Amino acid sequence: MVSRPFSCTGIQSYKRKNTFPAHPAQKFTTHHPARYPTIANLRTSKLSLPPTTPNQTTTSIAIHNLPTTTMASQNLCITVFARGTPTLDRMTPSMIAAEIHALLGNDDPYQLSTFTLRPLSPTVTEILIPHPSAHTLDLTALRTSPVITAKEAELGVELCFQHDTPYRRHKRLVVFDMDSTLINQEVIDELAAFIGVQKEVAEITERAMNGELDFEASLRARVGLLKGLSNDVWEQLKKEKITFAAGAREVTKVLRKLGCKLAVLSGGFLPLANWVKGELGLDYAFANQLVADPETGLLTGTLEGFIVHAQKKAELLEEIAKEHDIDLKMSVAVGDGANDLVMMAKAGLGVAVNAKVKVQREAPVRVNPLGGKGLQEILYLMGLSDVDIEELLRD
């Protein structure tokens, strides 16, 4: 069963405090200002509704007409996440849709068309907005616009922008970072705690993940501090320290049911990455390999094999896609650190989850889940509803 979408059309007044009728179709006022800002003016344009009193009718912004033949392939998709409130006010997505549609501009602002709202959960709604050049819109400019940022803060929402194509809804390859993404810990910091160098290692890790230090150089410096640690520490870590991120088991189970190939591409270490692969039923695990002295069983403070840095993650994504004849547009890359940005840019959908400041700013899409669903929120970006997810989670 798939959530039923409803469309917003025509010209009709609504009051800001009105509620939606039981029927899924709802109409809204569209009153046309003389001019509308274009995407080129996005960074300086205002995006707001006029102030109202409780009994004053709100005037929304025009929604422009498109030929029906272009509707399916030329939509802008906005996934709206409620943040800081237990549910998403059903009026809010409609206001966002009308205002962003006006913000994008049109040569004929007096023509009206249909945008579609599809609730995916009590806290998430998908908006499809027709636009004559939706497939060429600069989503980075849109996402990073101060206008959009201000609107998110005002309404207590998080907005994720995508081109609405079949590739958005049909993914075949999903790759994950491991530390602070699939699991809650930074493994190298946990290893450092065993030999009393946690503070020194944590400081380097934080700077590396924020993109302040070269990843490979910082990794080798941190690994050098682990010299003398027993190589049997991995079992202790699994039992006492490592916990999976909220939603990790659920999202991987759903993606497996959908037939996706799954991989962990980690700047951490292979013994733990292989364990995560087994626990979550992933197809691939790539990570860095620490060297242990064969006689003493102690780490030497060095690495062997290739280093899984930012560029290597992107290369591995491409290699896995090529092996299974998967178009990169049908891939997803998920992470939280600066060394995940290259693979995010390479994938059809790059998602930063609870990410570092630099990554929040630069990732194609970012989500900051509140509550227990965690990584499961990625599935909303693919158009799956709670009903869909529940069905796929059934054994």
Catalytic-labelled residue, pool 164, 177, 336, 340: 177
Residues 6+ apart with CB under 8 A from 286: 263, 264, 265, 266, 270, 273, 308, 312, 316
**Is residue 177 annotated as a catalytic residue, yes or no?**
yes
Q: What are phi and psi of 365, to 5 degrees?
A: -140, 140
Which residues make Cβ contacts (< 8 Å) with residue 3, sequence separation at least 6?
Answer: 118, 119, 120, 385, 386, 387, 388
Q: Helices in the chain by DSSP H: which ranges? A: 91-104, 139-144, 146-155, 166-169, 187-194, 198-209, 215-224, 233-240, 248-257, 270-280, 310-323, 341-346, 357-362, 378-381, 386-393
Pairing of strands 261-269, 157-164: unpaired
Catalytic residue at 336? Answer: no
Contact 215, 339 (CB under 8 A): yes
107, 108, 179, 395: the catalytic one is 179
Location of structure tokens 């060095």: 302
Residue 33, CA distances (Å) to 4, 105, 134 in order: 32, 11, 22
CA 314/CA 333 separation, integer angstroms: 9
Token output for 383: 């158009």
Q: List phi, psi (to 5°) of 207.
A: -70, -35
CA 270 – CA 273 distance, rounded (Å) = 5
- Measured on CA atoms in the order 84, 86, 92, 93, is the torsion positive or negative? positive
Dist. CA 266–CA 309, nearest whole Å:
8
- Strand, coil or helix: 241: coil
Point out the residues that are catalytic.
Answer: 177, 179
